[in-house]
Structure 1
């Protein structure tokens, strides 16, 4: 491609190298250089250091991750009938990645819903990974230094390879999640084309750059647990390209070829809420999801299913209901009958 570039030092060569450096920086705004002492996430790797049976069909893996600075985090597997990772035939199962929200963890789905008792998931390996209290399913910018935490690299490279090599995960995958995890499900499907056959988001942050209110709200989450909010994606103005690279609305074209399920309440008290509850967060996410649905249809998305309900707030009873409502689409993409 660059066969005619002069090899001797010259003003032309100097200009070419400068232009090439700028071009490469523009094409990879979400892959900042590593600081000294940070883990080399360009050589991803993870290992299981402990395995715990926590309930029938539920296995917790303790995984040490290079992308997370050598820390060990948990991943819960809801295993299908007949699952046996020690079988030499190594059967590989269709896989549902089920992502938790902000302030939750890898146990949230099994603790708060009936996912473990759902008969239609007995032929599917369900992967519920830890993603940090407010990790946002992203490799953090860290003021341009990158490094820990690199949640996207951990999930989509390290953990995925480990599960497919040793724990029976197949290459037919779908992804779903709630709130922060709803955004994660949309991001992973969009940012890794061909990896997932369908995606579902329940009350997800679907367009954090929608307006000033949406930006301020997600920055508030970024600041949780006394965190520097600029560590995640940087400043929404100065690092706007990084924000856009993590905003599902701006990635809508990358979701055109797979089924997408979007659901969200309007934030007012509904039949599954305690009396008197309202949710400005859910109302904001409702506007974001409407914007994403319209954008998906504008760019010619193959299949968009929406359930925008009201009344209803940001609460687990709705997410359990929406999981069940979206399973026919998700399992259909995996060719598993609900």
Structure 2
């Protein structure tokens, strides 16, 4: 007996079954892959509930890798975690130098961890760095306040219910981003940041540090020391703009603590560097504290008696700041 072609109604039924199967398979495949191209992200009404993902988000600098841990229950709040001066191009150091992912794994807030930006201060540069042959111009502020939020919005993350926290370079940048984008950030945290960069010697110190971390020319960032861009990015100067913002500000003494156990000569060298960097951050942070005090602007401060410029101390401070972060973001 010859089997004929199915009728029109039967073909419709088969096509519907095929589309249903595809709809079920595609999300599963995307979840298994673990890495996505941002341009293909679907528009969603809420963020994915839990899980870790790496995406590439289009930007004026080219595709930027972003590591994301989604809110445990699909909430719309997000915490941006910024890296330090020696940010790597493969991973954000919060993901492997600390237990930040575990700290927030069961919380209803998405962790957003951009990758890259060595010596960038997460700002929009004036031109490429000519000392190291940089091909393009850093545009990190644009990315973090326009391009990345636009992508995250397609995944259900709010443009206005965000916090930003960073260490060292990222700490200064966190306050700068929050001050100039108050519609985006409800919380800002600085851990061992440099919050008084107009202080004597600070601009020269930043110049030397950036040369050491990738041979970047600071003049390509904010121009010569008398350029007004230096003032725009100095937390001590723009402090009045922080009024009403939930803030957590920390710097340790610079004295070696529980996480400093040097053994080899290089360990002693790194510990000495960490001591000096943290002492400088403490001086900056104390000056910033006085500045906020004169303006009547409250913040939460943490000044541990011991601790150097090192990740395990920042891990501890992130944990201390966590309740304030969750409260500020209603997460």
Q: The TM-score by the shorter chain falls in which range?
A: 0.7 to 0.9
Structure-2 change in CA distance of 1:120 and 1:327 (3 Å): farther
More helix per residue: 1 or 2? 2
Secondary structure of 1:159's aligned partner: helix
Q: Which runs of 4+ in 1 moved over 6 A?
A: none
CA RMSD in angstroms comes to 2.1
Q: How far has the Cα of 1:125 moved from its partner?
A: 0.9
Secondary structure of 1:97's aligned partner: strand
Secondary structure of 1:98's aligned partner: strand
Give the greater-gyration-radius structure (CA).
Answer: 2
Secondary structure of 1:137's aligned partner: coil
Identify the residue that residue 206 of structure 1 maps to in structure 2.
195
Question: TM-score normalized by structure 2?
Answer: 0.76
C-alpha contact 1:139 1:149 (8 A) present in aligned 2: yes
Identify the residue that residue 231 of structure 1 maps to in structure 2.
220
1:168 to 156, 162, 165: 156
Question: TM-score normalized by structure 1?
Answer: 0.74
Gaps in structure 2 of 5+ consecutive residues = 1-36, 42-49, 129-135, 263-267
Corresponding position: 1:335 with 2:330? yes
Q: How far has the Cα of 1:227 moved from its partner?
A: 2.5
Secondary structure of 1:270's aligned partner: coil
More strand per residue: 1 or 2? 1
| Superposed counterparts of 1:76-91, under 5 Å | 76-83=67-74
1:311 to 294, 301, 306: 306
Following the alignment from structure 2 to structure 1, what is the Cα–Cα distance between the partners of residues 117 and 239?
Answer: 26
- Give CA-to-partner distance per residue, 1:11-51, whole Å, 9 cap, x none: xxxxxxxxxxxxxxxxxxxxxxxxxxxxxxxxxxxx82588
Identify the residue that residue 248 of structure 2 maps to in structure 1.
261
- Give CA-to-partner distance per residue, 1:108-134, whole Å, 9 cap, x none: 111111111125653111111124111
Secondary structure of 1:117's aligned partner: helix
Q: How far has the Cα of 1:152 moved from its partner?
A: 0.3
Count matched residues. 268
Identify the residue that residue 288 of structure 1 maps to in structure 2.
284
Corresponding position: 1:156 with 2:150? no
C-alpha contact 1:50 1:61 (8 A) present in aligned 2: no
Gaps in structure 1 of 5+ consecutive residues = 1-46, 84-91
Q: How far has the Cα of 1:64 moved from its partner?
A: 2.4
Following the alignment from structure 1 to structure 2, what is the Cα–Cα distance between the partners of residues 58 and 273?
Answer: 31
2:233 to 246, 249, 267: 246
